[in-house]
Amino acid sequence: MLYVITGPPAAGKSSWITARARTTDIIIDLDRIALALAGPGAPSWQHDQTLLKVAHRARFAAIDEAVKHRDQVDVYLIHTMPSAKALARYQRLAAEVITVDPGKDIVMQRVRDMRDPAMTAVASRWYRQHARRPQGQPAGRQASRAW
């Protein structure tokens, strides 16, 4: 099964996956990929643009290969703000889209405490794009299309 995990920065997407994934499952997380490719002592979330470019290419390759095996293992893909095109692809792949959002106040505090200040703009943009969903709605399964 392919699970696409969405939500604002610092919402707890990685923690949500960690609580559910088995050791044989595949987790595709740009932050993990970038950290694996970075030099010693690199920060966990604030990456150089060149590193991010390489990490994005690796992520795309990982997605392309992992979806071929989604009948044998679960694939968890973190995609903070998937485009309509990406969501359409995930729908064709019969993915389950899950949104993790503990609420704007909690996310903004976590961003201030743990992330680069630039992530505040990303979190704000996420909330503007998801204004129709009530804040603080617990993490849960979201339909892959509007019924």
What is the per-residue pLDDT for 8? 96
Determine the pLDDT at residue 114: 87
Q: Which of 27, 88, 108, 11 minimizes the C-alpha distance to 35?
A: 27
pTM: 0.83
pLDDT digits (tens, 9 = 90+) for 2-16: 999 999 999 999 999
Helix (H) / strand (E) element for 95: namely: none
10-residue block means of pLDDT along the chain (147 residues)?
Answer: 96 95 97 91 80 95 97 97 94 96 95 87 93 52 38
pLDDT at 62: 98
Residue ranges with strand state E in 19-85: 26-28, 75-78
**C-beta of residue 74 within 8 angstroms of C-beta of residue 22:** yes
Predicted local confidence at residue 132, as pLDDT: 62
Strand partners, 142: 97
